Amino acid sequence: MPCASPKAFKTLKMTTSINTPTLAAWEVAMIDSFVRAAALIGLPRSIGEIYGCLYCSREPLSFDEIADRLEISRGSVSGGLKTLRQLGAIKLQYVAGSRKDHFVPELSMESLVRGFIKDQFSPHLDSSAHRLDAIETQLSEEPDAALREHGLQRLNTLRSWRRRAEKLLPLVLAVLGGGRALFSKGDSAASDSPWPI
């Protein structure tokens, strides 16, 4: 697990507060792992921070509790929670006696990857077909025959990559489903690690 540098988490609450729980050193280090994982797939830092905060918490957390623990803006918390819900990475949890929404993390790697593919990857893959068609139209207007031929070769390679990606997605999801069954026979704790840390 990567070590968290003090500078990387200068915004996270590390001092004792009367009303707000302090983040322990292990929580800061673990949140850092999710921040790094979020960056790898092009998501904002706040997404990793919010998911990591919920992941570390023993109890469901409300909007205000997340903002207080991480000391990030309410706008970042609002946007982060919205994105995480769209990805299926967090869920609402009923808390008796409270009128506020409370959140818990999704712990299934399969569900997390499915959510990311559905919300981020699949729309990009679908729209890429139209972009490639537009490129072909632009290439048809290229006056230099040699350059046009070169561009068409590159375009055909991109289309080949796209077709392979379409075929790969079902395989990835199938492997994740099989991996969950495999973990259940071996190290069950491994299946509780939803992101690469």
Hey, how many other C-beta atoms are within 10 angstroms of the C-beta on 35? 23
Tell me the helix, strand and coil percentages in the chain, rounded to 5: 65, 5, 30
Contact, 125 vs 162, CB < 8 A? yes
d(C-alpha 189, C-alpha 184), whole Å: 9
Spans of all domains in the chain: 7-105, 109-192
Q: Output the pTM of the full model.
A: 0.62
Structure tokens at 108: 């299934």
Q: Dihedral through CA 66, CA 68, CA 74, CA 79, nearest 10?
A: -20
CATH code of 7-105, in short, is 1.10.10.10
Q: In terms of C-beta density within 10 A (0-12 exposed, 13-18 middle, 19 or more buried), how is residue 60 classed?
A: buried
Structure tokens at 2: 């990567």
pLDDT 10s per residue in the chain (197 long)?
Answer: 444 444 444 445 543 333 446 788 999 999 999 999 889 888 899 999 999 999 999 999 999 999 999 999 999 999 999 999 988 899 999 999 999 999 999 888 777 777 777 766 777 777 788 888 999 999 999 999 999 999 999 989 988 888 887 777 777 667 666 544 434 444 444 444 454 44
Q: Would you state the pLDDT for residue 120?
A: 64
- For the chain, how many helices (H) and strands (E)? 7, 3
Residue in this structure with the two tokens 């970042």, named with its chain if needed: 76
d(C-alpha 9, C-alpha 7), whole Å: 5
Distant-in-sequence, close-in-space partners of 80: CB < 8 Å, separation ≥ 6: 44, 46, 47, 49, 50
Q: Would you state the pLDDT for residue 193?
A: 47
